[in-house]
Amino acid sequence: MRLSRLFFTTLRDDPADAEMASHRLLLRAGYVRQLGAGIYSLLPLGFRVNQRVEQVIREEMDRIGCQEMEMPVVHPADLWRESGRYYKIGSEMVRFKDRADRDMVLAMTHEEVVASLLRDIVRSYRQLPMMVYHFQTKFRDEPRSRGGLIRVREFVMKDAYSCDRDEAGLDRSYQLQYEAYTRIFERLGLDTVVVGADVGIMGGSGAHEFMFLNEFGEDTLVICDACDYAANQQIAVVGKPEVAAEAPKPMEEIATPGATTIATLARFLEVGPERTAKAAFFMTGDGRFIVAIVRGDFDVNETKLVNEVKAVGGLRPATVEEIKARGMEAGYGSPIGARDATVVVDELVTRSPNLVAGANRDGYHLLNVNVGRDYTPDLVAEIANAREGDPCPQCGKPVTLRKGIEVGNIFKLGTDFTIPMGATFLGEDGIAHPIVMGSYGIGLGRNVACIVEAHHDAKGIIWPAEVAPYPAHLVTVGANKDPHVVEVAERLYEAALAAGPRHEILYDDRDESPGVKFTDAELLGMPRILTVSPRSLAAGGVEETDRATGERKVRPIAEVEASLVGG
RNA sequence: CGGGGCGUGGCGCAGCCUGGUAGCGCACCUGAAUGGGGUUCAGGAGGCCGAGCGUUCGAAUCGCUCCGCCCCGACCA
């Protein structure tokens, strides 16, 4: 591609809205443009990178026998009513009516379509196992997009679905996908950490997320450097402190004016936060009021809480009015005297005697509160967040907390879609069984952004060869002075072009100053920068710069040409 | 959805407080010089100042409403 013809422009100034290096560089180098909140166009360069990423994924999916297909973006709402997700998912799913007043939705993912196809096509166990995938646009009307391509509303995802006769088959398919993912991210140049993940209220029996460690990540990971333990904080269960036994003391009310947070309370009473109980109040999507109690030195983990109380529709913080209506006082709250509330207590609290807890009276707390004696939990569970330095559940060494971006996930769905949607097969036993599914997603744009996060320097992007839009960037200098420069450059360019699409290079044939050309070449990030100039010709050929190492050498023209057309 | 910030040419910004009909840098066009690190000079083109309503003789500037975008939080099968 001749740069003089390429639909793009580079920017000298950093776009004001781009905080992440990847976002800034992709905008500045002319790979993407924003159309709206979380909605991006891929310019030709960006599209080419996307295609390269897609191709890597395609090869690895094909390699494990996953079959490529394509499913629609617009679905009849009835399909989603069948699985029940039409009612469970909130406003992140775009709903609309077609001209005949039929309810339609924009696809957020494609489990329903796969299940409906299975129902139509699969009759016998002989047709299983089977895996399919496609690259397709998803629209998720996220409340807030962020980080350029990291969190968007419209994006292309590779989503694969495994379909098996039973759990053992699912385990095999899952393992194949796991291994394929490992190869994919290695080829993409992304170091990932695989963490155990939340399966959510939709059920399923297991999930892993492939995480790219990055400070802008939206997930917090609990990682042990001493062993291989790694989990999303949403589900991480780590060791809790030992608590010294203590005889229960009489409960006693004490004035604590203004001490509405654990920090101020602990300071006021001159005790450690571990001597206090923290109350958090939630409403479930189905209208239940939850009081969650953790020790003052911990935070409530909402994912764990959602799962423990099986909160359909999730949790939202309760309002002050809702708290008052149940006999409690925000800022001075505890389950003592609570009405119409489900009390969920972290197991550590039950082992911690004589805690300070709210008196449910403005400006007062209670000393020496003991679970069981002073109030009765409806549920005792592990609902606290793992903290930096807590003991690893596998080896006991302190864990660290890291931020990560989810670049891929694999999920054992089980029969959550096939049972409600009636996707069954006739087994060897002559009985109908539900097909056992798994789903496996990789968001393309997010991966492109992460690749840039991992591969750039102060000057620009440095694409790994596997995903570079073009293998080389050819620059001419002094072309106006010396016709031989143009001759050689044209010869190299045409030779690469003739060698096939995979060999095509980027050719900066613009009448720009050398500074502009070199600066753009480094910004754009092709792995090899080839310079043809009177100087390089006099030195024996073409100057080649390795973008990653900065290493330069002059090579004979014929040798460079061979490298462009060869394997 | 709550809190904060910002909408002025493709990008980055000034002007707004103290109303008087829009400016700078980069990019773009023309010409000349230059030709190995965003080169120089000269001359240009491009903006109903996010939208609507209001105040005023007069609004980019003041007021109200709306829309959009960014950040923090909530949210993220």
Q: How far is the CA of A448 from the C1' of B51 (A)?
A: 36
C-alpha A31/C-alpha A54 separation (Å) is: 16
pLDDT at A110: 96
pLDDT at A313: 72
Q: Which nucleotide is nearest to A510 (CA to C1')?
A: B35
Q: Which nucleotide is nearest to A153 (CA to C1')?
A: B76
Write b or e for each residue in A408-428: b if 16 or more Cβ atoms lie within 10 A of its Cβ, otherwise e: bbbbbbbbbbbeebebbbeee
C-alpha A194/C-alpha A230 separation (Å) is: 7
pLDDT at A201: 54
B27 C1': nearest CA residue: A11
A464: nearest Cα among A455, A473, A477: A455
C-alpha A258/C-alpha A362 separation (Å) is: 9
**Residue type for A311, please?**
A
Write b or e for each residue in A51-83: b if 16 or more Cβ atoms lie within 10 A of its Cβ, otherwise e: bbbbebbbebbeebebeeeebeeebebebbebb
Q: Which nucleotide is nearest to A148 (CA to C1')?
A: B70
Backbone angles phi, psi at A240, to 5 degrees: -110, 155
pLDDT at A73: 95
pLDDT at A89: 86
How many Cα neighbours within 13 Å face the side chain of A297?
Answer: 15
B73 C1': nearest CA residue: A144
Q: Which nucleotide is nearest to A23 (CA to C1')?
A: B70
C-alpha A344/C-alpha A174 separation (Å) is: 34
C-alpha A541/C-alpha A529 separation (Å) is: 14
Q: Which nucleotide is nearest to A550 (CA to C1')?
A: B37
Q: Which nucleotide is nearest to A28 (CA to C1')?
A: B11
Q: Which nucleotide is nearest to A200 (CA to C1')?
A: B77
pLDDT at A430: 97
Q: How far is the CA of A27 from the C1' of B45 (A)?
A: 26
Q: What angle do CA A285, A296, A199 make, to 5 degrees?
A: 40
Q: Which nucleotides on chain B have any atom < 7 A from a protein Cβ? A: 1-2, 10-13, 25-27, 34-39, 68-77
Q: How far is the CA of A64 from the C1' of B39 (A)?
A: 56
Q: Which nucleotide is nearest to A542 (CA to C1')?
A: B36
Q: How far is the CA of A522 from the C1' of B2 (A)?
A: 43
Q: How far is the CA of A15 from the C1' of B41 (A)?
A: 30
- Asked if this assembly's ipTM is beyond 0.85, the reply is yes
Q: How far is the CA of A156 from the C1' of B41 (A)?
A: 49
Q: How far is the CA of A92 from the C1' of B62 (A)?
A: 40
Q: How far is the CA of A512 from the C1' of B10 (A)?
A: 19
pLDDT at A88: 83
Q: How far is the CA of A37 from the C1' of B61 (A)?
A: 29
Backbone angles phi, psi at A270, to 5 degrees: 55, 50
Residue A511 buriedness (CB in 10 A; 0-12 / 13-18 / 19+): exposed
Q: How far is the CA of A185 from the C1' of B26 (A)?
A: 38
Q: Which nucleotide is nearest to A111 (CA to C1')?
A: B77
Average pLDDT across each block of 10 residues of chain A; the chain has 567 residues. List them in order.
Answer: 95 89 95 93 96 98 98 96 90 92 95 97 98 96 87 95 97 97 98 87 76 92 93 92 93 91 89 92 86 93 89 80 87 90 94 94 93 94 93 94 94 94 97 97 96 96 97 95 94 97 96 95 98 95 97 97 90
Q: How far is the CA of A501 from the C1' of B75 (A)?
A: 44
